Amino acid sequence: MLYTDEAAHAIAPADKPRKVTVGLGLYLLVNPNGSRWWRFRFRFNGRQNTLSCGIFPDVGVGEAIVRRDQYRTLLADGLNPSDHNKVERADQYRQREEQRDAARFLVDSAGALSVRLGNRVVLLSSPETAELRAFLDATKTVACKVTACL
């Protein structure tokens, strides 16, 4: 049984990958090159699955056990932890994209606009920003009238 980070460090790599059990489906996979991966083995809909819980030492024994318990809670609720992780990663990716897009257009307290397009940055003064807004409002009105005619 593996209960401390020191014990996980003390495991010597072998010629073949080794599985050192923590319990309740969690084990530490020790590869011949010395890398160590936390894995959680579970069954869902009659099929055996394995899910990564992180890389040791970035994720210690305590954190791996917490992740295992979270996965077991999802299983008890009838959810596949793997699918749940995929949905969470997709949500995180979407949030990062939204933040990146929001950071493209910045208006400072004086009303000046800065637009970031890749590595280029376009800076507009306050009067130029007001002129651009007026132009966009005018084209929006024209576009609405055109679409209403269709």
Q: What is the CATH number of the domain that holds 35?
A: 3.30.160.390
User: Are 108 and 92 in the same domain?
Assistant: no
Task: State the pLDDT at residue 150.
Answer: 53
Task: State the pLDDT at residue 139.
Answer: 80
* Residues 6+ positions from 54 with CB-CB distance below 8 Å: 37, 38, 63, 64, 67
Task: State the pLDDT at residue 119.
Answer: 75
Distance CA 98, CA 103 (A): 9
- Token pair listed for 33: 């090159």
Give the global pTM.
Answer: 0.66
Question: Which parts of the chain sit beneath pLDDT 50?
Answer: none
Helix (H) or strand (E) holding 116: strand 113-117
Residue 82, CA distances (Å) to 25, 73, 143 in order = 14, 13, 46
Task: State the pLDDT at residue 109.
Answer: 80
Where in the sequence is the domain holding 59, given as residue range(s)? 5-98
Query: How many structural domains does the chain have?
Result: 2
User: Are 70 and 130 in the same domain?
Assistant: no
User: Are 120 and 92 in the same domain?
Assistant: no
**Do residues 67 and 58 touch, judged by C-beta distance below 8 A?**
no
Distance CA 34, CA 99 (A): 38
Angle between helices 61-76 and 81-102 (to 10 degrees): 110
Task: State the pLDDT at residue 54.
Answer: 95
Task: State the pLDDT at residue 70.
Answer: 97
Q: Of 55, 71, 98, which one is at a domain's C-terminal end? A: 98
